[in-house]
Amino acid sequence: MPIQYYIYFSLALFSIGIIGVLTRRNAIIVFMCIELMLNAVNLLLVAFSKMHHAAALTSNAASTAGVEGQLFVFFIMVVAAAEVSVGLAIIVMLYRNTHSVDINFLNRLKN
Amino acid sequence: MQQEYNYLQGYNTIKQMDTLQILFFFLSALAIFSAIMVLVSKNPVHSVLWLIVVFFAISGHYILLNAQFLAIVNLIVYAGAIMVLFLFVIMLMNLNADTEPRKNWWMKLAGVVSGGCFLMVMISLVRQATELSGKAALMKTGDIGLIKNLGKALFSDFVVPFEISSVLFLSAMVGAVVIGKKD
């Protein structure tokens, strides 16, 4: 499959995530859209790693080039899991203080 | 005659489209449709369920790319753990469509327009990129995605980041407990 198709698909998912972050006011949905953007990037990293691997296979049949990309995706997933636990704790605290998950309440952090 | 020829050519390309391509386009369409449904659902629980569908579609993409380890990890970590966490929090707060905050329509319009502008700029950029033409991602073959090779690399070259990520998890756990503690 040409690499452009994967780029277009990931771009579409990433843009949907951006639109979600910009248009929704529910903090949890905003958070879910960030997860969507992370997944779009992950998919693109895997596609690029396979592209790199295909290019390396032509010169060396036993090449393992491209493993780094997939391990990078693995570490992104690890960091995302840690990020979700802390972020959801913050959202729960926000809800406990304001009884709402509307992110516009957060503008009182200004003063 | 020309039209008939074009039609036949189109028919041939459809016939030659193998299972891999059909699966690719099906999974892509499913993922994009579910991602849009995540945005337009009024009920947050429905959003979570549609997001799980997106994650399953992306795992299908990983399997098509023969990245089997990442496909399983994606299912276990994202669809399994993270989404259950989201669902727990939503049900803990008793959120539903009635408590959904509304944004005024011009803010929504501005968000959609800016997201669409980003998409158009990036697509035009990719279309102009000459170094990407002729490159293809290897599908169904290539064994770098298997757990044997990934594990070898993870525990030899990447063992320090792997250990540091455990410290990160510990600090995230402590942070979540401290933030979520009732004071």
CATH (domain of A32): 1.10.287.3510
Question: Residue B107: what pLDDT?
Answer: 85
In the predicted structure, residue B98 carries a pLDDT above the cut 80: no
B97 with B151, same domain: the answer is: no
Average pLDDT over residues B18-23: 86
Q: How many domains does chain A have?
A: 1
Candidate from A2-6, A26-30, B12-16 with smallest mean pLDDT: B12-16
Task: State the Cα–Cα distance between residues B48 and B38, nearest whole angstrom.
Answer: 7
Asked whether residue B82 is assigned to any structural domain, the reply reads: yes
Q: Which of A8, A26, A79 sits opposite B168 (nearest CB)?
A: A79
Asked whether residue B172 is assigned to any structural domain, the reply reads: yes
Domain range for A75: 3-110
Domain range for B72: 2-102
* Interface predicted TM-score of the whole assembly (ipTM), two decimals: 0.91
Asked whether residue B67 is assigned to any structural domain, the reply reads: yes
User: B48, B100, B33, B49: which is closest to A23 by C-alpha?
Assistant: B100
B96 with B11, same domain: the answer is: yes
In the predicted structure, residue A111 carries a pLDDT above the cut 70: no
In the predicted structure, residue B130 carries a pLDDT above the cut 90: no
**B133 vs A52, which has greater pLDDT?**
A52
| Confidence band of B173 (pLDDT split at 50, 70, 90) | very high
Q: How many domains does chain B have?
A: 2
Asked whether residue B15 is assigned to any structural domain, the reply reads: yes
Average pLDDT over residues B18-31: 90
Are the beta carbons of B176 and A88 separated by less than 8 Å? yes
- What confidence tens digit (pLDDT) does each residue in B33-77 have? 999 999 998 888 999 999 999 999 999 999 998 888 999 999 998
Among A32, A33, A57, A58, most B C-beta atoms within 10 A, so best to mutate, is: A32
Q: Which of A23, A48, A54 sits opposite B111 (nearest CB)?
A: A23
Question: Residue B112: what pLDDT?
Answer: 92
Asked whether residue B124 is assigned to any structural domain, the reply reads: no
B96 with B24, same domain: the answer is: yes
CA distance B14 to chain A (A): 15
B92 with B157, same domain: the answer is: no
- What confidence tens digit (pLDDT) does each residue in A55-75 have? 888 887 777 788 888 999 999
Question: Residue B145: what pLDDT?
Answer: 79
In the predicted structure, residue B1 carries a pLDDT above the cut 70: no
> Which H, E and C letters describe chain B, residue by residue?
CHHHHHHHHHHHHHHHCCHHHHHHHHHHHHHHHHHHHHHHCCCHHHHHHHHHHHHHHHHHHHHHCCCHHHHHHHHHHHHHHHHHHHHHHHHHHCCCHHHCCCCCHHHHHHHHHHHHHHHHHHHHHHHHCCCCCCCECCCCCCCCCCHHHHHHHHHHCCHHHHHHHHHHHHHHHHHHHHHHCCC
Question: Residue B52: what pLDDT?
Answer: 94
User: Which of B83, B102, B121 is at the close of a domain?
Assistant: B102
B98 with B171, same domain: the answer is: no
Question: Residue A99: what pLDDT?
Answer: 80
Q: What is the pTM of this model?
A: 0.87
